[in-house]
Amino acid sequence: MKKIYMIDSDLVAKEILPYLQQDVCPVLVEDISEKSDRMIWIVSKAMQEKLNIEGAIVYEEFLEEMVEYSCNMFTCNWDYFYLNNKVNEAKNAETLILGSSYARFGIKEEMMEKAVNLSLPSQDLYYAFELLKKVCSEEHSVKNVILGCGYYSLFSDLSRTKNRGELERISTVYAPILNDWHNCFIHPANWYAFDESDYIDVQKLVASLYNSSYGQHNYFNNENRKRCYFQTKLWEDKSKYWGDLSETEKWKYGKQRAESHNKSIRFEETLGENIEILKDIAVYVSERNIHLIITVFPATIYYQTFFDMNFREYFYDALEQVNEEVHLVDCFGDPFFDEEDFNDTDHLNDSGAAKMTLMLNHLLQQMNECDSI
């Protein structure tokens, strides 16, 4: 058991004790006359100015360094901190939102009652299900699950992608939270792994700093994290937004985006696995009396025109194999959404997300009324 020595200071004792490593024993002392060079001390700034203990960790200076370190971590790996925090919050939610970037951009959970959004860019069915199980494995309040997707989502497996940046989402987000790599056999390095300390649980301390600063915020929450800042910009001039593009450019990039998704239709093995996952999700929620709402999000005409609609047939065929009750909201070609509602070729912006959320709220209200009869 390692020891760390503290002067009897309320500031240090209250602030640092919760973040000591489990194998560290705090020793509170009043007399430092018998101190040695091998003793590790942590003291308040005022106490250090008074006693001048050589090599002591000054709490205020340490905390200042940790705040700067944490801010860098939040910026580099926001998705991890957001998801890790919201997973715990989700146990008290009535509506749980899961799925890909379509659900991330396309739903304003702040417009819903007791809703938590765990969807993230490139989140596939496998990790959506794993998050669902993590939330509902213990006592929870979940009554509704909204699973956001596209027709092609049944052909998506994040752990098999050839895109290095996308694959790193597993090592930096899902593996640290779920301890699960799915089909990923070569594990990319986690560039945002926490620094290690023999005495302080750095991960726990950073998580606490995140919760105190951002814990009540949603994914898009301030001047630096607006929906419009996270467009899928296939065009070269990144200073341009979707609305700034010419008609010719919109057709060009709509085609490019759709064709990138069309390539996945060859992944038949992934389709088979995802159909089984979808069936398992339906059984899981049914056994817990949770409503499942599968939501297909809209896309611009520039994307729809070039999208392979064979995906739709596979999608509906898969739903036919689900024996449990499923509510489907299919907005892929819905004229209710116009060009001004999109962030890029196939993601909703603020106005589009507001429309989508109102639509889902109406459905949830209807289901709740039926439940109360």
The pTM (predicted TM-score) of the whole model is 0.88
Quick one: residue 114, left, alpha or beta (phi over 0 = left, psi -120 to 50 = alpha)? left
Which letter, b or e, does each residue of 24-63 get, where b requires 16 or more Cβ atoms within 10 Å of its Cβ? beeeeeeeeeeeeeebbbbbbeebbeeeebeebbbbeeee
Q: What is the pLDDT of residues 9-29, one digit of tens each?
A: 665 666 777 888 888 888 777
Tokens 């240090």 found at: 12
Q: What are phi and psi of 114, to 5 degrees?
A: 50, 55
Do residues 293 and 144 make contact, with C-beta atoms less than 8 angstroms apart?
Answer: yes
Q: What is the pLDDT of residues 233-285, one digit of tens each?
A: 888 888 899 999 999 999 999 999 999 999 999 999 999 999 999 999 999 99
- Is residue 355 very low, low, confident or very high in pLDDT (cuts 50, 70, 90)? very high
Q: Could you state, in order of their start, the residue ranges of all structural domains in the chain?
A: 2-61, 86-187+219-372
pLDDT given at position 334: 94
- Calculated CA dihedral for residues 234, 240, 246, 250, nearest 10 degrees: 30
Which numeric CATH code is attached to 86-187+219-372?
3.40.50.1110
Lowest mean pLDDT among 25-34, 105-114, 116-125: 25-34
Helices (H) and strands (E) in the chain — how many of each? 14, 9
Q: Strands 327-330, 144-149: parallel, antiparallel or unpaired by DSSP? A: unpaired
pLDDT given at position 270: 97
C-alpha dihedral sign at 37, 41, 47, 48: positive
CA distance 74 to 54: 33
CA distance 14 to 207: 17
CA distance 224 to 207: 20
Tokens representing residue 333 in the block: 């070609």
Q: What is the mean pLDDT of residues 47-69?
A: 84
Q: Kindly tell me if the per-residue pLDDT of 157 is higher than 80.
A: yes
Q: How many CB atoms lie within 10 A of CB 164?
A: 8
CA distance 120 to 110: 16
Top-confidence range, 51-55, 135-139, 184-188, 297-301: 297-301
CA distance 89 to 373: 30
> Nearest to residue 128, comparing CAs of 274, 320, 287, 332?
274
Q: 232 versus 103: which is more confidently predicted?
A: 103
Q: Kindly tell me if the per-residue pLDDT of 126 is higher than 90.
A: yes
- Is residue 55 very low, low, confident or very high in pLDDT (cuts 50, 70, 90)? confident
pLDDT given at position 284: 97
Q: How many CB atoms lie within 10 A of CB 193?
A: 13
CA distance 102 to 83: 16
**C-alpha 112: how far from chain center:** 18
- Is residue 214 very low, low, confident or very high in pLDDT (cuts 50, 70, 90)? confident
Three-state DSSP class for residue 24: strand
- Is residue 45 very low, low, confident or very high in pLDDT (cuts 50, 70, 90)? confident
Percent of the chain with pLDDT over 90: 57
Q: Kindly tell me if the per-residue pLDDT of 349 is higher than 90.
A: yes
Q: What is the mean pLDDT of residues 303-321?
A: 98
- Is residue 338 very low, low, confident or very high in pLDDT (cuts 50, 70, 90)? very high
